[in-house]
Chain A
Amino acid sequence: MIGFIRLFIMLFVALTVIYVSLSFYSRAVRRSKLKKKWHDGKQLVDRDTFVQRGLERYDGSIRRKLILGVYVVPVVVIAVIIYLTNFT
């Protein structure tokens, strides 16, 4: 029991670090893409407004929620290993 708790606490901490870093990185990439899109486009609004609106749309998007997969994947891998090692 204690082994299980220890493993999952360590995993949770490590995965949270990865999740937060990945979130920031992904948002920064989205921001720079928005800036480029504004630069190449019709420029109906000023750049900051354009980028702000684009980021708000990004914040609600599926792409952002997919980053939570960082938590899901290792747990699934562990479950598969347990099944293959112990039940076949």
Chain B
Amino acid sequence: MFTVLKWVFWATFWTLVVAVFHYTLPQVDIVRVTDTYEKRIDPGENSLFWAQADVGSDGTMANRDVFFIQTRRVKGDVMVYRNEDTGWGWPPYFKFDTSNLQAEAADAKSTNEAPRYFALKHYGWRNEFFTIFPNAISLRQVEGPEASKGIPFLNIFIITLFAAISWAIWVRWRRFRMARIDPTLEAIEDDMAERRGAVRRWFGTWKKKT
């Protein structure tokens, strides 16, 4: 039973780690920008997935206006991105130029007849059930819908670094366990076995001697 519990715990832990990385690390989409707008939003249950007010503004207001960028992805579906400052907070993109990016997005609008394609770097998830949007970070014009997204060097580096650190911690934990904890547990078990033998012998002294 404890094995099952252990597996459930570690599975949950690693799922959470993978989810955090998938949400936070940057991804690129090749899109055609169709429109930009601004909308007042009231973060409620989903406030974890909204950033904060632009750096320098009042951060305590419950609802605020947020920029959005509407696009059609080359995959064929539509995608709506929000465009918010991450400021000095998490994730550490240090994005302060939201309004500039919005201006670039407005300039990037094109129609289906005369399309212009852009590589939009973003992080976050789109989930209609919670009304959360990925956060656009930057826009870069590309030649066409077949343009490559590029190799995600930063993602590779961060994930490799994390894997290395986890492995280092695990190895040190194993060494510590073998050096300290296992001998102690064995000593306890030997101790208990000895005492069980002693109790049984004491019970034996009460039996009738035939």
Contact = CB atoms under 8 A, between A and B. Distances in A.
A7 B88 contact: yes
A85 B87 contact: no
24 contacts: A2-B59, A3-B55, A3-B87, A3-B88, A4-B88, A6-B88, A7-B89, A78-B92, A78-B94, A81-B93, A81-B94, A82-B94, A85-B94, A85-B96, A85-B97, A85-B137, A85-B138, A86-B94, A86-B95, A86-B96, A86-B97, A86-B100, A87-B97, A88-B138
Interface residues on B, range: 10 to 19
A87 B146 CA distance: 27
Q: Does more than half of chain B's interface fall in helix, strand or loop, or is it mixed?
A: loop
Interface residues of A, number: 13
Nearest to B88: A3
Given A3-B88, A85-B96, A86-B97, 19 more contacts: A2-B59, A3-B87, A3-B89, A4-B88, A7-B88, A7-B89, A78-B92, A78-B94, A81-B92, A81-B94, A82-B96, A85-B93, A85-B95, A85-B97, A85-B137, A85-B138, A86-B96, A86-B100, A88-B138
B182 to A, nearest CB: 26
Q: Most chain-B CB neighbours within 10 Å: which of A1, A6, A7, A87?
A: A7
Q: Most chain-A CB neighbours within 10 Å: which of B88, B89, B92?
A: B88
Contacts, number: 32
A86 B100 CA distance: 9
A81 B96 CA distance: 11
A86 B98 CA distance: 9
Q: Closest 3 CB pairs between A and B? A: A3-B88, A86-B97, A7-B88
Contacts of B55: 3
Contacts of B138: 85, 88
